[in-house]
């Protein structure tokens, strides 16, 4: 049994990431147990997404952050494998392009918030503007420091307007990252995933840990909580994230709308045109 509360960062708490194990089973008995849970969660997510879509009033946004190789892409593929693509939106946030850099930093995130009735995923997000922007010194300290409050206000507004925001930090160890980067070097099918930024960010590991701890402390709110997801074991990571999406949808409990037509009249509609 996964206890999601154990992974949720309570508002104002500052988790010490060096003390939170990255390799743990999170209450699951075995890999088979985790995979069975994922499979059943995927089915339930599909069913509830159908109701969210039919209801058409609210949306769910999953924000995924983590160091390179933490498994953001793999999580998305495994957790959302069963959903209806028509009611699903995903956006990958990379280095801002010329149109993006010409706007405030939240502009591009806001534009990608899922429309009503959809589940959306941010693969990286507006949090890069207090992570890489801070660690790589793309902006001065007074600039990134005031952003936590902007972000909290932005997410509260989304919540008030009907978007449930949940945020996962995929927590991998530096050792596991080393293994995964090596696999990308050794396996020709994975070479394409390598980028020099993976190695510069790896060198700045302690600075990123600090920056993530600040994010978790300052931006885990009641309406948009952060979860620290142990991510060295992919099956544990997938089980937890799927459980969180399922719990979010269950809490929303979307309903099929009442039909607007007179069903009885439709039942007696002549059907002999066949």
Q: Rule CB under 6 A: is residue 133 a binding residue for ligand ADP?
A: yes
**Options 24, 182, 191, 195; binder of ligand ADP; rule CB under 6 A:** 195
Minimum CB distance to ligand ADP, residue 7 (Å)? 22
Minimum CB distance to ligand ADP, residue 129 (Å)? 5
**Which of 8, 18, 13, 10 has the alpha carbon at shortest distance from 209?**
18
**Options 44, 124, 145, 150; binder of ligand ADP; rule CB under 6 A:** 124
Position of minimal CB gap to ligand ADP: 128
**Which of 167, 174, 202, 198 has the alpha carbon at shortest distance from 185?**
198
Q: Which stretch binds ligand ADP (CB under 6 A): 75-83, 130-138, 150-158, 234-242?
A: 130-138
Cβ atoms of residues 171 and 240 within 8 Å: no
Q: Which stretch binds ligand ADP (CB under 6 A): 48-56, 112-120, 124-132, 235-243?
A: 124-132
Minimum CB distance to ligand ADP, residue 163 (Å)? 21
Q: Rule CB under 6 A: is residue 128 a binding residue for ligand ADP?
A: yes
Q: Which residues bind ligand ADP (CB under 6 A)?
A: 68, 93-96, 124, 128-129, 132-133, 138, 195, 197
């Amino acid at each position: 049994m996964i206890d999601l509360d154990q992974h949720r960062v309570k508002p104002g708490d500052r988790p010490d990431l060096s003390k939170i194990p990255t390799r743990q089973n999170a209450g699951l008995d075995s890999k088979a147990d985790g995979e069975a849970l994922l499979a059943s969660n995927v089915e339930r997510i599909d069913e509830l997404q159908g109701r969210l879509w039919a209801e058409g009033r609210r949306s769910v946004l999953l924000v995924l952050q983590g160091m390179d190789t933490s498994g953001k892409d793999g999580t998305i593929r495994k957790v959302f494998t069963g959903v209806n693509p028509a009611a699903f939106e995903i956006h990958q946030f990379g280095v801002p392009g010329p149109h993006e850099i010409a706007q405030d930093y939240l502009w591009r995130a806001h534009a990608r918030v899922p429309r009503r009735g959809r589940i959306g995923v941010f693969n990286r997000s507006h949090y890069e503007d207090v992570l890489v922007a801070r660690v790589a010194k793309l902006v001065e300290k007074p600039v990134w420091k005031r952003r936590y409050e902007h972000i909290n206000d932005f997410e509260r507004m989304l919540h008030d307007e009907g978007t449930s925001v949940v945020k996962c930090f995929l927590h991998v160890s530096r050792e596991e990252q080393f293994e995964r980067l090596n696999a990308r070097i050794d396996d020709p099918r994975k070479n394409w995933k390598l980028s020099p930024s993976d190695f510069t960010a790896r060198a700045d590991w302690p600075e990123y840990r600090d920056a993530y701890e600040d994010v978790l402390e300052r931006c885990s709110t009641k309406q948009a909580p952060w979860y620290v997801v142990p991510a060295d074991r992919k099956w544990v990571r997938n089980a937890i994230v799927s459980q969180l999406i399922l719990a979010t949808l269950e809490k929303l409990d979307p309903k099929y709308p009442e039909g607007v037509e007179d069903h009885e009249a439709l039942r007696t509609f002549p059907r002999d045109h066949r």
